[in-house]
Amino acid sequence: MSGLSRRGLFGAAGAGTAAAGALALSMAAGKPAEKEPHASDAYPYYGAHQGGIVTPAQDRMHFAAFDVADGIDREALIGLLTDWTDAAARMTQGGSAGELDAMSGNYDSPPEDTGEAYDLPPSGLTITFGFGPSLFVDGSGADRFGIATRRPAALERLPHFVADNLNPSLSDGDLCIQACAHDPQVAVHAVRNLTRIAFGRAVLKWSQLGFGRTSSTSVDQVTARNLFGFKDGTMGLRGEQKAMIDEHVWVPDGADPAAEWLEGGSYLVARKIKMQIETWDRAPMREQENIVGRTKREGAPLSGGVEFDQPDFALEGRGGVPIMDVDSHVTLAHPDHNDGVHMLRRGYNYVDGNDDLGRLSAGLFFIAFVTDPRTHYIPMQSRMSRNDLMMEYLQHIGSGLWAVPPGVAEGEFVGQALFA
């Protein structure tokens, strides 16, 4: 085995890119053909956009937020981003975190890689880096890295929403890493090694493990279910919808003269949402479906049809009452009621053990990639936090917003244009 690889040779089967028309076809059929994920999947690290956004959503996630350590200056931050980029480029291809693999190197030194992924294939690993508002201006107003004037206007701490119950130790962070893979050990290995590489330069502030994707980001994926038992991700953006992705996900040229470095990037919104699943489980089926606005079995709109049919919000039932409750989750989140806005949702289920009363500490780690949070997330969340019937069963306990730089060219580091 080469010293540069964490294991032997694996085929580097990339993601299949289905024709955009396949989306309409598969949606019309109501049954997208599932393309099975393979352990040998390896997505290219270098490219126009970072991986982990339009990449077909993997089944496992490890998300981590970091604060840059006191005393670290601009050069040291650039050093960290360079080391992270090099490690991410290697690990996503099935290699080690360091230049030497976990079993090589000086016998009297710690290995450069921690080793738990040594025998594992790439498993579709993607690593996505983001920069938080506090990287630009910290809590005391300091411009630690000389980048304050280049902060995008949209990159501000998310506002307080009605019923937010945010835990500061589950929120925000100077930097974030989203690692997604088919195998949880591969995602955890990535975050663990990037944390280790950051030692003395950035400190892990909080992290979250996720399982069971609650989105579909490719026409090749079937709709998975969330912990309420409902199909989730039916109407999410798919990577194959190129024009929609350009309009709703990537930051366009000229969006913000102060932040040209972000063009081709995106914004990552993360919300840790606790779900009162025991209470939900006692709610009648009629109520559950009314709250969501879709059937539990098929995921079809309550107004009729099959899963991928559009809801008919004008359809009235007995007494002239709309069949789709005006405060159902889907009614409030639908683009027709949000100025045509779509978002690329990429969330995961989570379970963090249980509380003293024997209730699961479970929920949904909501992630969305958007072109601008001011138009594509904040207005929708404001309305939903006030009116969404589902809110009775939800509590938002963590939150963060990060600017996600565009993709990396070989020989560069992630976010390089910010420091040019």
Ligand X SMILES: C=CC1=C(C)c2cc3[nH]c(cc4nc(cc5[nH]c(cc1n2)c(C)c5CCC(=O)O)C(CCC(=O)O)=C4C)c(C)c3C=C
Smallest separation (angstroms) from ligand X to the CB of 387: 12
Residues in touch with ligand X (CB under 6 A): 226, 228, 230-236, 271, 273, 275, 292, 294, 329-330, 333-335, 343, 363-364, 366, 380-381, 384, 394
Smallest separation (angstroms) from ligand X to the CB of 155: 18
- Residue 212 CA: distances (Å) to CA of 11, 24, 218, 229: 25, 25, 15, 12
User: Phi, psi at residue 401, to the nearest 5°?
Assistant: -135, 130
- 133 contacts: CB under 8 Å, gap ≥ 6: 151, 155, 156, 157, 172, 401
User: Phi, psi at residue 208, to the nearest 5°?
Assistant: -145, 130
Smallest separation (angstroms) from ligand X to the CB of 380: 5
Residue 172's nearest CA partner among 138, 128, 145 is: 138
Residues 147 and 68 sit within 8 Å (Cβ to Cβ): no
For 383, the 3-state DSSP assignment is: helix
Which residues lie across from 176 on neighbouring strands? 65, 130
Smallest separation (angstroms) from ligand X to the CB of 339: 12
Question: For ligand X, which is the closer residue by CB, 301 or 405?
Answer: 301
What does DSSP say about strands 360-370 and 231-232: parallel, antiparallel, or unpaired? unpaired
Smallest separation (angstroms) from ligand X to the CB of 247: 15
Residues 120 and 186 sit within 8 Å (Cβ to Cβ): yes
- DSSP letters of 265-292? -EEEEEEEEEE-HHHHHTS-HHHHHHHH
Residues 130 and 38 sit within 8 Å (Cβ to Cβ): no
Residues 88 and 96 sit within 8 Å (Cβ to Cβ): no
Smallest separation (angstroms) from ligand X to the CB of 177: 21
Smallest separation (angstroms) from ligand X to the CB of 397: 11
CB neighbourhood size of 312 (10 A) = 15
Question: For ligand X, which is the closer residue by CB, 81 or 273?
Answer: 273
| R_g of the chain, CA atoms, integer Å | 22
Question: For ligand X, which is the closer residue by CB, 13 or 224?
Answer: 224
Question: For ligand X, which is the closer residue by CB, 348 or 413?
Answer: 348
Question: For ligand X, which is the closer residue by CB, 378 or 418?
Answer: 378
Q: How far is CA 25 from the centre of its chain?
A: 27
Question: For ligand X, which is the closer residue by CB, 92 or 338?
Answer: 338
Residues 43 and 182 sit within 8 Å (Cβ to Cβ): no
Give the count of alpha carbons within 13 A of 141, CB side only. 0
Question: For ligand X, which is the closer residue by CB, 92 or 349?
Answer: 349
Smallest separation (angstroms) from ligand X to the CB of 221: 12
Which residues lie across from 231 on neighbouring strands? 225
Question: For ligand X, which is the closer residue by CB, 232 or 325?
Answer: 232
Smallest separation (angstroms) from ligand X to the CB of 343: 6
Question: For ligand X, which is the closer residue by CB, 82 or 395?
Answer: 395
